[in-house]
Amino acid sequence: MNRKRERQLIRIMGIWQILDGLLTIFIYGFYQQNIFPGITAAGDTQVSAINAAFGNVFMFVCTFGILLIGSGMINLLISKRYVKDDQVNVKIGVYLILQGLASYFILDIISLALAMSAGVILLARNKGIKWNTQKT
**Per-residue pLDDT at 115 exceeds 70:** yes
Per-residue pLDDT tens for 49-89? 766 766 677 788 889 999 999 999 999 999 999 988 888 88
**Per-residue pLDDT at 35 exceeds 80:** no
Shortest CA distance to 96 belongs to which of 75, 66, 65? 75
Q: What Cα–Cα distance (Å) separates residue 117 from each residue in 2, 13, 98, 100, 126?
A: 16, 11, 12, 9, 14
How many Å apart are CA 130 and CA 136, to the nearest integer?
Answer: 10
Mean pLDDT of the chain: 85
pTM of the model: 0.80
